[in-house]
Structures are given as structure tokens and as C-alpha cells.
Structure 1
Amino acid sequence: MESLLISGDQLKVDDVVAVAFGRPVALDPAVLPGMERSRAAVERLVAEGRVVYGITTGFGRFKDRLISPDEVRQLQLNLVRSHAVGVGPDLPETAVRAMMLARANTLALGYSGARPAIVRLLLDMLNAGLTPRIPAQGSLGASGDLAPLAHLALVVIGEGEARLNGRLMPGGEALAAAGLRPIALEAKEGLALLNGTAQMVGMGALLVRRAVNLALTADVVACLSLEALHGTDRAYDARVHALRPHPRQINCADFLRRGLAGSRFLRADDPNNVQDAYTLRCVPQVHGAVRDSIAYAQWVIDIELNTVNDNPIIFVDEAGTIDVISAGNFHGEPVALAMDYAALGLTELGNMSERRCARLVDADSNGGVLPMFLTEQGGLQSGLMMAHYSAAALASENKVLAHPSSADTIPTSANVEDHVSMGAAAVRHAGQILEHVETIVGIELLLAAQGVDFRCRAMGLTPAALGEGTAVAYRLLREQVPFLAEDVALYPLIEAARRVVAEGVIKEAVEKRLNLT
């Protein structure tokens, strides 16, 4: 596999996903002059004894404590050790790899004063499959993701813990086993490693890619539910959506029409049943708005991946004049707000799916089109009654998780850092919601396929009479989960359906079938 060149300004969400799952990386030689120029500026600042935050001063509330030139290395070492205060469960290795890539890309821009050797070591660690152990919690999202990045920096200096070939070991031992050597930090380099948005942006990139898959898959599953419930696609008419021209609403409606093309399960015009319930009729409006929230998150992440987001920032002009500015690019508010918005959108996606689940199992709600709880022997058999319970439980939990993290703030560092973004928490909560919705949509897929089988019997049809896209989704589910003629333990089947949704096989296969790739 060709290595991804790290240049500081070209990284995209899909690049982060690829590297998180193993694509090799290399430093673009074109970035070396800029990095070396900012590094030389740091060395000049130290040699001249200039007062510069985090280089010749302490940190946070200690910003007014001067540090002598012979203590600047110890200052950086102390910073890394003292800030490694992460708690909670370990981040997945994919998330750690995404963080490492994001931090390396920022340092490569050449405004942070870090030597190229620092970035090369991060990239070498990625290529060796060496991932620091980073607890998930501890970041306030300003000044950046300090605590988690401190755990990353510990391994850079040969301390902390890391995983190599699936085994957790001391950081220095892991580096040695990978044929790598730790680095002794020079002035500014500890701060350059710690002070930025790498956790929230790296994890945000992974979340965005999963969310794109989930949104499209939820569209397909909603269509399958429409067929199982003998609904109509009249509400998806292009003329309707042209009159309310939200682009992603229009795109969603177009995708639904294409996915349902050729279906013989849909209801023809019926004067006694002219419209469906909102969770069927309003899929383009709601799912389209969810697509908006995901697209906004991707827009923000694509920008943030290629930013200088630490402090202070070092400018060196053509004449060699140095200007160091203490500012706030480490503040994670753009990412926090975007992740909260995505979390809210995903929650609504789950709410829609859960309500369709309820309609699929409730004969009173679906007009008797399907048997109660999707079983022929109700009473003796409970059928799929309880599958909906799990969907309802997750949808309700999401409503708590969707409370915006960015609406909260808490002052720290003796009130110097008096407003924080909680961006890392926003990403983690959005990730929890996403996982819940993957399961909810998986349950809907399970129920819709069961409903389609009952409709086939009633109408003398086969699943081949489904729409162009829904036939694909039905087939992929049936490869993993059979029609349920009697009660069985459902949890393995729910997990199988969740995997069909989460692993992207429906999205990929439907896009191929509809010539969308």
C-alpha cells in the first residue's frame, strides 16, 4: 500500500480512516524547511533569554514564572509527566492512531517549533503498529486535549505504556521492540505535542465516516420498512422536494426513489389510505436534516485536521524576524459544536428508526398488514416483541447523551483557563449515540425483513419483487439471519443485524447496485 505523505495541509477524513486501519505514512520532504525554520527560532528565543510562554515560562497559572535556559528541557519533561492524568477506559487503537496522525500533521505545518524528528517518530510508530495506551477521559477541550496527548507524549520519551502486536508493555520497551528510540524533548516540544485538538479531531474523523455509512444505510432500511408496511412512496416525489430545496433533503428523496424502484410491495393510490405516518412519509425531511448535521461535522473536521492548533504559535518572516503569539487555536469549540450537532442528528435518526420498529411489531398501528409482534402464534410465541424493547431503550438513552457537551464549561488552572469546550466529551458522546443507532437500525432491518416475508406469503410474491436497493439489503440480512418461525434467543441475531449495518456492507452493495459509486 502506498504511503500517505504528511504535509500538514492535505489531510482529509478518509485519509485518517485509512491510516487508523493500517495505511503507512511518510513525512513529505517539502515540509522540512518550514519545520527547521521554526525550530531554529525556538533555539534563538532560548539563547536570547526572551520571555515566551511555555518556552521560558511555566504553564497555565504559572505563566508568569520564568524558567532559566538550563531548565527548559526539564520543563518540557515535567510538563509531559505532570499532565498524564487520563482516566477511564482505554481508547481503541484506531482512535489512538487517528490522534497520532492528527498531531503529526499539525506539527508538520512548521509553526510549532518541534523538530522533524518528533514527527518522524510519530509516523514510525504508526508504521510499526505501536500505539500508546491512552485513557479516554481527562480532556476539557482547551487548552486542547492535554491529558490524552500527554499519554501519547510519554511514549515518545520512552515512558508510559504502549501496545505492540496486541501486547501492552512499558513505552520504552515497546519502542525498542519496534526498533525505535525515544526522543529527549527540547524547548517547546512537550508543549507542541500536548497543546492541540488531536483527540477530538482524530476521533471525530472516524465518527464522521461511520455516520455517513449509517445515514445511507438507515435510508435503505427505512425503505424496506415502507415495503413491509405496505406504504406509498408518493411523498418522495421529486416535485414535492423541489418546493423545499434543502439540498440533502432532495438528495435523500432521490436516493429513496432509486432504492424503491421496481418495488411491487408499495401501496397504489388508495382513497381510504392517502398518507403514511410521519416516520415513513417524512424520511427525506428528517433523514435529510441528519445528513446536514453529518456534512457539517465533516466540513469542520476536514478544516481542523490541517490547522495549527497549539500555543504559542511561532512566525518567522523572510528576513528572519521572529514573532511569537500566544492565542487560542487550541480551543475546541468548532469541533465541540459540530460533534454536538452530529450527536443530535444521529439521535433523531435513531428516534425515527425506533418508531418504525414500533409500527412493524404493532398490528394495531400498522392496520393489520403484519401480525402482532411478527409471529403467527401470538400468545404461545412472543415473536419479536422484545427486539423493539432494546431499540426503545437505546433511543431513550440517546436522548440523555444528546445533551450538548459544548453547553457546559468549567474553569480550571486557577481560573486562568476559564472557558473550555468539552470537545472530547462531545465526540465520545456522539460515538456512543452512533453505536446505539447502528443497533437500532439493525433491529429495524431484522423486523422489516421479517415483515417482508409475511407480506410475501400474503401477496404471493418473493423478495425479488422488492425495490432495486431494498432487495440488496434484504438479501444481505438473510445471509446472516433466517426468517423466525418460532421463538429463539434473539441477542445473537440482533448482533448479526447490527454488524450488517455497521460494517457498511449494505451501503457499499446498494451504491454499487444503483450505480452510485
Structure 2
Amino acid sequence: NNSSYFDPHRQATAVLALSRIENLLATADLAAAMTLDAFAGRSGALRPEVHALRPHPGQVETARHIRELLEGSTLVDIPYHLVPRFRSWTADAWSDPVEQERRFDIAWDYVPPPQRHGREAFYERYLPFKGGKKHQPQDAYCLRCMPQVHGAVRDAWEQACRIIDIELNSVTDNPLVFPDAENPRYIEDQVISAGHFHGMPLALAMSYVKAAIPVLASISERRLNKLVDPANNDGLPGFLIGNEDGTDSGFMIVQYTAAALVNDLATRAHPASVYSIPTSANAEDHVSMGTNEARHVLDMTDDLGHVLALELYTAAQALEYRQDMLNAARGLADRGDWKALAAKIGNAPREDHASHATFESEIRALMKALINAGEFHAGVAVRKAHAKIRESIDFMQRDRAMDGDIRSICALVSSNVLIADLS
């Protein structure tokens, strides 16, 4: 772990690890973009003027990359009242023969005029229908702080790349021979024992990356967890499944698996570089353990890839639900039957109630807004990645064994096929 004959192994291992992390950073940005689309989330935290105020290079680059992946999305920044929430499918959920093929029902709740007191300005901007999307000024940290977290990991990677570039273009032999030394009197003037073999520059750089890996995995798992949690997933079905037979395990076990992997990565993040054990009868009395550090990082990239794959697997399911639910609402509105749309809304006043005329007027406004919104879809790059996932993994309409799906998504991430054509 210290002598010069470890240098090629240490350097090669570090190069392999950093190459993998470069691809995993791109994969993490893609997973984040797909998840943000699946949430119909907010893009304000990605805007360039925001990051110009705190211009860490990795942060700026991450925000730019995710904005690019989301380009063309009609889901991000959608008005909250347009987004219905999931309601379990029933035999009479849809009256139209084509609509009867759907795997879900949709719902909103109406906010009657007496309950709007003190929020009049709000309801001048938004229609009084509560669906799946919560109205709040900001997303959770795992969505809002993606540039800061991914960016910090990217900066750690960039620093390690800078170190390894120097290492690969440097002399690390011992002793060093200077045959052109002027007027050498003794051999020691030409042959110098120095310490370029010491691996601490690389070891500390890889310790930095090693600490960053669980961070990137952790924020990915938090996004995954938010997708499956019905209390926090903004109207998607619990565990992203809507079985009418009630066996709703869905993506629960996927989150379990991601949580276990993140925990394992965190326990492996202790830096080897801080613990020197002397060798060679104390001639080598302070060593870097850089080979161990590089080897640990390389090993950890596998599980980081697995966590990101699990997020992509989950986000693909969530995105399909979100798009289908929104487009079902739009299709319902496009029929021009306000009563059919009203049937999906709870807390509606009776026809003989004084506020029914107001209700009808607002339903018609919702119908018009849905029609005018156009088709709902993810960003161009996200759609492309989603289509590649669907070539190998079908939407999960009912609970099924997931081991084959998980092998497939991990293979897609490992092969880099999902990011091959993305900037």
C-alpha cells in the first residue's frame, strides 16, 4: 500500500473507479429528472440565476444538466389544481368503453366558497379543486437540493480527477536518478531516495470520493421513498400499485432494498487513508493505504449504481401513472361533459344547493384549463430514457415477482445505455 510497486495498481483502480463515477453522476441526474417529472415538481430551484449566487462548479453543472434533461416537459410547474389524485379502480369508475381499460380512477375535492375565506387572492389564481399536488412554495430537499448535493459529489469527483491526472503524468519511482547533475562528486548526487511513491495525494482524494458515494445514494433513496409513500407522493398510489384485489405490496420492497444498500455504503465510507500501519521494520512508518482506498471506492460504485437503478425503476412506474392520470383527466374534459368530470370530484354541492351554479361554473373552468393544457408528458430526454426502460421492463399493473425487473434495470444502468445519447 505504500511502495512504488503498488503505484500502477493504485492508479489503475482509481481511474476505473472515477470513470464509473462519471457515468453514475450522469445517471443520478437522469434519475433525478425523471423523479421530478413524476412529481410534476417545481423547476425554480434549477434556474441559472439561482446558482449564479453560489457558483460551485458542480452545482452549476448539475442544475444545467437537469434543466436540459427536463426540456420539453409539460409536467414540471403544472398548476396544482390540474393534477388529480389516484383513486382505486372500480368496475363503474369509467363509463366510456375505451376509458374502462384504465387501471386507476382519479379524484379531486372541491373547496366550497365558505371555506375560502382569507384565501381569496389564492383562489383568484387557482381553481378551488384539491387533487394530488399539494400547494406549497417549495419541494422537499431531495428534489429542491439536487444541484447542491449532486454538485458537491461532482466537485469531489473533479478534485480526484485532477489528482489522478497529475499522478498519471508524474514520476513515482524510488530512487530518482538525475544523470545530468552538474559536477557530481558522489553517486548520491545523482541517485536520490525521495518520497514520490507515497500515495497520500491519491488516497485523500479517494477518501473524499468515498465519503461522497453514500451521499449520492442517500438522496436517491430519499426520492425513491417519497415516490412510494402515499402521504408524500402527491396523489400517486401507495407503493405505486393499484391492485383491485388488494395485494398492494408494489414497490415497497424496492425501497427496502435501496435503504439496505445505502446503509451498507455508509458503513463502508470510513477512510482507509487516516489509519496508517507501519511496515518494513518501520522504514515505511507512515503509509497511505491508497490502494485499499481506491479498491473500496471501485467496489462501492457497484452498489451506488444499484441504488440509482432502483430509483429509475420506481420513477418510471410513477411517471407513467402521473402521465396517464393527467391525460385521463384531460380526455374526460375533452368530452365536453362537465357532469362526467364533476363525478370525479368529492365534496360537491347538491344540485338544489345555492352554490351549485358556482360549482358548475368552476367545473367548466377546470375542464377548459385541462383541454388548453395540451398533452401531459415528461421532458424529451426523460421520455427517451423511459422508453428504453420499457423495452425491458413492463409497467407493473399488479404485484409480481420483481427480481427479473431489478436485474434488467441494474443491467441498463451498468451498460450506460440510458445515458448514452444524453448530454
For this structure pair, what is the TM-score category when the shorter chain's length is used for normalisation?
0.7 to 0.9
**1:66-108 deviation digits (Å, cap 9, x = unpaired):** xxxxxxxxxxxxxxxxxxxxxxxxxxxxxxxxxxxxxxxxxxx
- 1:465 and 2:377 aligned: yes
Q: CA deviation at 1:200?
A: 1.2
Which residue pairs with 1:213 in the alignment? 23
Which residue pairs with 1:338 in the alignment? 205
Distance 1:463 1:359 in 2: 25
Which residue pairs with 1:294 in the alignment? 157
**1:96-122 deviation digits (Å, cap 9, x = unpaired):** xxxxxxxxxxxxxxxxxxxxxxxxxxx
Superposed counterparts of 1:7-22, under 5 Å? none
For residue 260 of structure 2, the aligned residue among 376, 382, 393 is 393
**SS of 1:347's equivalent?**
helix
Q: Match of 1:354, as an amino acid?
A: E
Distance 1:464 1:435 in 2: 35
- 8 Å CA contact 2:206–2:297 kept in 1: the answer is yes
Q: Match of 2:410, as an amino acid?
A: R
Q: Match of 1:281, as an amino acid?
A: R
- 1:405 and 2:317 aligned: no
Computing the radius of gyration from Cα coordinates, the structure with the larger value is 2
- 1:143 and 2:3 aligned: yes
**1:188-221 deviation digits (Å, cap 9, x = unpaired):** xxxxxx3x41111101111111101100111011
- 1:488 and 2:400 aligned: yes
Distance 1:380 1:488 in 2: 10
Q: CA deviation at 1:432?
A: 2.2
For residue 236 of structure 1, the aligned residue among 46, 50, 53 is 46
Q: Match of 1:444, as an amino acid?
A: E
Paired residues in the alignment total 320
Structure 1 residue runs of 5 or longer lacking an equivalent are 1-140, 145-193, 512-517
Distance 1:336 1:496 in 2: 34
Q: CA deviation at 1:488?
A: 2.0
Distance 1:428 1:389 in 2: 27
- 8 Å CA contact 2:393–2:405 kept in 1: the answer is yes
Structure 2 residue runs of 5 or longer lacking an equivalent are 81-121, 123-134, 329-373
Distance 2:166 2:375 in 1: 44
Which residue pairs with 2:417 in the alignment? 505
**SS of 1:465's equivalent?**
coil
Q: CA deviation at 1:319?
A: 6.7
- 8 Å CA contact 1:464–1:471 kept in 2: the answer is no
Moved over 4 A (4+): 318-322, 461-464
- 8 Å CA contact 1:362–1:373 kept in 2: the answer is yes
C-alpha change, 1:269 and 1:238, in structure 2 (3 Å) is farther
For residue 34 of structure 2, the aligned residue among 224, 243, 254 is 224
Q: Match of 1:268, as an amino acid?
A: I
Which residue pairs with 2:346 in the alignment? none
C-alpha change, 1:250 and 1:297, in structure 2 (3 Å) is same
- 1:199 and 2:66 aligned: no
Superposed counterparts of 1:433-472, under 5 Å? 433-460=300-327, 465-472=377-384
Q: Match of 1:375, as an amino acid?
A: I
- 1:263 and 2:73 aligned: yes
Q: Match of 1:293, as an amino acid?
A: A
**SS of 1:414's equivalent?**
helix
Superposed counterparts of 1:43-62, under 5 Å? none
Superposed counterparts of 1:320-331, under 5 Å? 321=184, 323-331=190-198
**SS of 1:218's equivalent?**
helix
- 1:283 and 2:146 aligned: yes
C-alpha change, 1:507 and 1:464, in structure 2 (3 Å) is farther
**SS of 1:403's equivalent?**
coil
**SS of 1:382's equivalent?**
coil
**1:329-350 deviation digits (Å, cap 9, x = unpaired):** 1111111111111111222110
- 8 Å CA contact 1:452–1:463 kept in 2: the answer is no
Distance 2:66 2:407 in 1: 26
C-alpha change, 1:392 and 1:286, in structure 2 (3 Å) is same
Q: CA deviation at 1:444?
A: 0.3
**1:127-168 deviation digits (Å, cap 9, x = unpaired):** xxxxxxxxxxxxxx2124xxxxxxxxxxxxxxxxxxxxxxxx
Q: CA deviation at 1:397?
A: 0.5
- 8 Å CA contact 2:163–2:201 kept in 1: the answer is yes
Which residue pairs with 1:371 in the alignment? 237
C-alpha change, 1:463 and 1:469, in structure 2 (3 Å) is farther
Q: CA deviation at 1:464?
A: 7.9
Distance 1:499 1:463 in 2: 32
Distance 1:244 1:264 in 2: 28
Q: Match of 1:499, as an amino acid?
A: A
- 8 Å CA contact 2:40–2:78 kept in 1: the answer is no
**1:220-240 deviation digits (Å, cap 9, x = unpaired):** 110100111221111111111
Q: CA deviation at 1:487?
A: 2.0
- 8 Å CA contact 1:224–1:470 kept in 2: the answer is yes
Q: CA deviation at 1:269?
A: 5.8
Superposed counterparts of 1:299-310, under 5 Å? 299-310=162-173
Q: Match of 2:164, as an amino acid?
A: I
Distance 1:269 1:326 in 2: 69
For residue 358 of structure 1, the aligned residue among 204, 211, 225 is 225
Which residue pairs with 1:78 in the alignment? none
Distance 2:8 2:375 in 1: 47
Q: CA deviation at 1:446?
A: 0.3
Distance 1:424 1:286 in 2: 27
Give TM-score scaled by structure 2 length.
Answer: 0.72
- 8 Å CA contact 2:75–2:376 kept in 1: the answer is no
Q: Match of 1:467, as an amino acid?
A: G
For residue 429 of structure 1, the aligned residue among 296, 309, 316 is 296
